[in-house]
Chain A
Amino acid sequence: MMSGGRFRVITMSTHSKGAVMTGNAIKKRDDVSIVIAGEAGQGIQTVEHILTKVLKAAGYNIFGTKEYMSRVRGGSNSTQIRVSSKRVSAPVDRIDILIPFGREALRHVSKRVTSDTAIIGEREELSDSVLGATEEIIGIPFSEIAREVGGKLYLNTVATGVIAGLFDVGMGVFDDHIRKFFSDAEDDIIEKNRNAARKGYEAAEKLNESGTVVVAIDKDPDVASEILINGAEAVGIGAIAGGCNFVASYPMSPSTAVLVFLSVHSAEFQIIAEQTEDEIGAMNMALGAWYAGARAMVTTSGGGFALMEESVGLAGMLESPVVIHLAQRPGPATGLPTRTEQGDLQLALYSGHGEFPRIILAPGALEDAVYLTHMAFNLADRYQIPVFILTDQYLMDSYYNLPSVNLKDTRVVNYVVRTDAEYQRYALTETGVSPRGIPGFGTGLVSVDSDEHDEKGHITEDLELRVQMVDKRLAKIHEMETDAVAPELVGSADYTFLVVGWGSTYHVIREAIGKLDRDDVSFLHFKQVYPLHRETVHYLKRAKQVIMVEGNATSQFANLITRHTGFAIRDRIVKYNGLQFSVEEVVAKVQKIVNQEV
């Protein structure tokens, strides 16, 4: 509860000047959660873009994520930026500093507002009891400042200035970022934005001087030179590292950012990037491209992928490599277009009719998104199968800083052979993998066929050959399993409780497990969800109790594990409201299960 109209958020690390003020601190922490909320069109994205960069440049570790409605104007959206002296890479419910652009915005995040939340905004607009009697607004006349500068269009830049000021990023550094961000705008617009930014910054300095809001977190100068990327960029970088030189797709949230990334860099990396008439065309182009020697991928979401399914089967029959980036959002059908879910694991696993092998990778950390996407191209080429990168809206849209991504260990492994006159595309081999030739490279002919075919690739209805061909295609699974990416164990190997997760929940669960601070609880994260690593069941059997955490309603991965190992997972923490788990949520739910057992 607040007192006397003065609201003080003091956040600090023990090494900072803020330590002096311990007595006055409402909360003492070394990471601050900022939320900016408003309508689409009010420029929250711009705030996020500038702040994540400038805060990092000032030496803070940052994590940024957003949730937004499927509309271009209006509605209620919010962006969370965590700022810390330590690495942060997961969303929290807690809001330390909230900047709501209007009453609706405040209402939108009201469930997350506590008496510890510093709400910075326009008193006149917000104080009229949006949340009941308890809230107190730290007044900054955003609209008035924006009007003075040139119009309410500049409101978001003022807000950016306030945050930058509170975190003392330095006016010079801040001004550089503002100029850089608006560099394509007309001079007048740049000037107005610089003004708006400066006035916001100065307003924050006053809050700081008066002790209304004081932020004191250690900066680490090394952080300033780290990289800052989001999931979409990580997948894009990984694709290029894996030799991707062809991408065909039809735009669909939340997968489009990868198509955009590869298109923007297409000239530099000699990538053919084509927006197709539909997803069916995209997938067929990708298969044509692999056939002729390119390394192709498609990027799509559930609904678009549903259209590609027939061609996933074609890849299975042709034994064509293909990389499919499937960024999940809640379905079925159009579902929640801008939200997140882990609901398409089964779709990927069972897509395409008939029986054929595939690999499904599911990165959680951004480093893994780079490395696994790169690896997907080599795996697809090696086994001549579809390889999925299963991400989601949350991963696509989340940023954090990291020292770098490991490109040293990436390599493009070439599996294409030069053909001779006797070449047979589907020569029967022990491993099931036939050397893959391409047309125009060598003296042989390359025939691939969606019908059941003979070794030469021509139609057959020889039923004995049919059995041999099925066996050949499925034989690859043996080596694929041997080669599977091992799950990552976080915490002690001597655990009682094992929390299991996959894909984008990696950092959330990891941080939650850290917060639980119990040596008997460990976390097992799967970056490859199919085929399962052979050690999987041993990890599970070592636990007294296994707890699955996943972002869907039916616990698809728990079911997959049971089906493939016989191991039943009873405790399942699921979420399917379109939002990622928060750290607090995982802590509370895991704690409840763990405490019951003790």
Chain B
Amino acid sequence: MNTNLFEMGDIDIAWCPGCGNYSILDALKLALTELQIVPEKLVIVSGIGQAAKIPHYLRTNVFNGLHGRAVPVATAIRAVNTELTVIAEGGDGDMYGEGGNHFIHAMRRNPNITHIVHNNMVYALTKGQASPTSQWGFKTPVQVAGVMEEPFNAIAIAISQDASFVARALASDVEKTKNILQRAIAHKGYALVDIFQHCLSFNKVNTYQWFKDNTYYLEDDHDPHDRQRAFERATEKGQFPLGIFYMNPAKPCFEETLSAYRVSREPLFKRRPDMESLIALVDGKRGG
């Protein structure tokens, strides 16, 4: 497929050769192209980390903000202009560590955004410390005796919060990742896509091969509308399932509930305050 619209040409990319981020970038460009989304109507919001550099590597509107803060920014962008497709994208430390509170509340708020989390179970930009998703016993220069904390199970948390779309993908499988991203972007409401990704430089345990050996796709007959079952699958021991765990398309999304859109769908930048009503409001303070 021709992803020309999103190609930046010859640019300097800061990722290591062979990084899983390249496959995610490819899958994303393919998904956007197939969905016929144009760069001018797309915004990718990111925070800090290697994954968070992704919006600089495809032609689109970019909001590269602070560590952990992409989700509230993306929520607001979509809320003030519902003509835009909005993606919040970053790594596991960015989104589940620093941004954990925003993650939880985004599920409650249910904005129509896609939340893509590159999950390599390690902090790469800061050179190899544990991340919230690092597995038990994972040794690093900081966690010298190995990680002693329960790995963060974003999929189970999202299902427990009735997040409206919950999926896990595997970066090295570009085709299936593209399909999942497509479904997530087309989904109306908050969509979480956690993408397993190897880190060549700083994670010598959860390697390309390890992810291949320790994951499998949910069966074709898995019913993503069955929340109980989805939760069971998300908390299985042993190998990690991939695919769309859960969806609840019936939930109203944040923008739909806003009174600002009751009369008009126009983006806010096209509107001006109603001065007559404001004068009436002030006159109302005269009492009587």
Contacts and interface: CB of A to CB of B under 8 A. Distances in A.
A270 B81 contact: no
A292 B77 contact: yes
Interface in B255-288: 258-260, 262-264, 267-269, 271-275, 277-279, 281-283, 285-288
Contacts of B79: 246, 272, 274, 289
A588 interface: no
Contacts of A449: 56, 62, 64
Nearest to A399: B285
Given A237-B281, A288-B76, A447 B260 contact: no
B41 interface: yes
A292 to B, nearest CB: 4
B41 A440 contact: yes
Interface stretch (A198-206, A221-229, A463-471): A221-229
B45 interface: yes
B273 A285 contact: no
A446 interface: yes
A237 B282 contact: yes
Interface stretch (A147-155, A275-283, A517-525): A275-283
Contacts of A280: 69, 72, 101-102
Given A440-B40, A445-B40, A277 B268 contact: no
Contacts of A310: 66
B277 A284 contact: no
A57 B287 contact: yes
B224 interface: no
A167 to B, nearest CB: 16
B153 to A, nearest CB: 20
B288 A57 contact: yes
B157 interface: no
Contacts of A226: 286
A37 interface: no
A410 to B, nearest CB: 8
A448 interface: yes
Interface in A231-255: 233, 237, 240-246, 248
A412 interface: yes
B282 A407 contact: yes
Nearest to B278: A240
Contacts, number: 206
Contact of B285 (A233, A265, A292, A410): A233
Given A246-B80, A292-B76, A265 B281 contact: yes
A343 B76 CA distance: 31
A56 interface: yes
A228 B268 contact: no
Nearest to A52: B287
Q: Which of A224, A277, A451 has the most CB of B within 10 A?
A: A277
A241 B281 CA distance: 11
B268 A293 contact: yes
Contacts of B61: 439-440, 445-447
Q: Is the interface of A mostly helix, strand, loop or mixed?
A: mixed
A582 interface: no
Interface residues of B, number: 58
Contacts of B272: 243, 412
B269 to A, nearest CB: 3
Contact of A272 (B63, B66, B258, B288): B258
Contact of B76 (A289, A410, A443): A289
Contacts of B287: 53, 56-57, 224, 228
B81 A292 contact: yes
Nearest to B70: A284
A292 B267 contact: yes
A292 B275 CA distance: 23
A285 B72 CA distance: 5
Contact of B286 (A227, A265, A272): A227
B75 interface: yes
Contact of A225 (B75, B80, B84, B286): B286
B74 interface: yes
Given A240-B273, A311-B69, A459-B53, A447 B62 contact: yes
A296 B77 CA distance: 11
Given A269-B277, A272-B80, A227 B53 contact: no
Given A57-B287, A270-B271, A280-B69, A405 B104 contact: no
B218 interface: no
B268 A407 contact: no
B275 A241 contact: yes
B19 interface: no
A227 B286 CA distance: 4
A285 B102 CA distance: 11
A373 to B, nearest CB: 13
A407 B269 contact: no
A278 B74 CA distance: 16
Contacts of A145: none
Contacts of A271: 260
A126 B64 CA distance: 65
Given A240-B278, A289-B79, A445-B61, A281 B101 contact: yes
A450 B64 contact: yes
B37 to A, nearest CB: 12
A278 B99 CA distance: 11
B65 A450 contact: yes
Contacts of A243: 272-273
Interface string B89-116: 0000000000001101100000000000
A442 B61 CA distance: 12
A288 B66 CA distance: 12
Contact of B101 (A224, A277, A295, A439): A277
Nearest to B43: A439
Contact of B262 (A267, A314, A444): A267
A288 B56 CA distance: 18
A241 B77 CA distance: 22
Nearest to B275: A407
B80 A293 contact: yes
B40 A443 contact: yes
A404 interface: yes
A411 to B, nearest CB: 9
A457 interface: yes
Interface in A429-445: 438-445
A438 B62 CA distance: 10
B214 to A, nearest CB: 33
A32 B285 CA distance: 23
Nearest to B88: A288
B232 interface: no
Contacts of B104: 277
A266 B288 contact: no
Nearest to A278: B101
Contact of A284 (B60, B69, B271, B274): B69
Nearest to B277: A268
B39 interface: yes
A287 interface: yes
B174 interface: no
20 contacts: A227-B285, A229-B285, A269-B273, A270-B264, A272-B260, A272-B268, A274-B79, A281-B102, A284-B73, A287-B76, A288-B76, A289-B79, A291-B73, A293-B81, A407-B278, A440-B83, A445-B62, A447-B64, A450-B64, A451-B64
Considering the complex of A and B, which 9 residue pairs feature the smallest CB-CB distances, nearest first?
A293-B269, A288-B76, A288-B73, A439-B61, A447-B62, A277-B105, A267-B259, A285-B76, A294-B80
Given A227-B286, A442-B40, 14 more contacts: A226-B286, A227-B283, A229-B285, A245-B268, A272-B258, A280-B72, A284-B102, A288-B72, A404-B282, A407-B279, A439-B40, A440-B83, A445-B59, A448-B62
Interface of A: 53, 56-57, 224-229, 233, 237, 240-246, 248, 265-272, 274, 276-278, 280-282, 284-289, 291-296, 310-311, 314, 318, 404-405, 407, 410, 412, 416, 438-451, 457-459
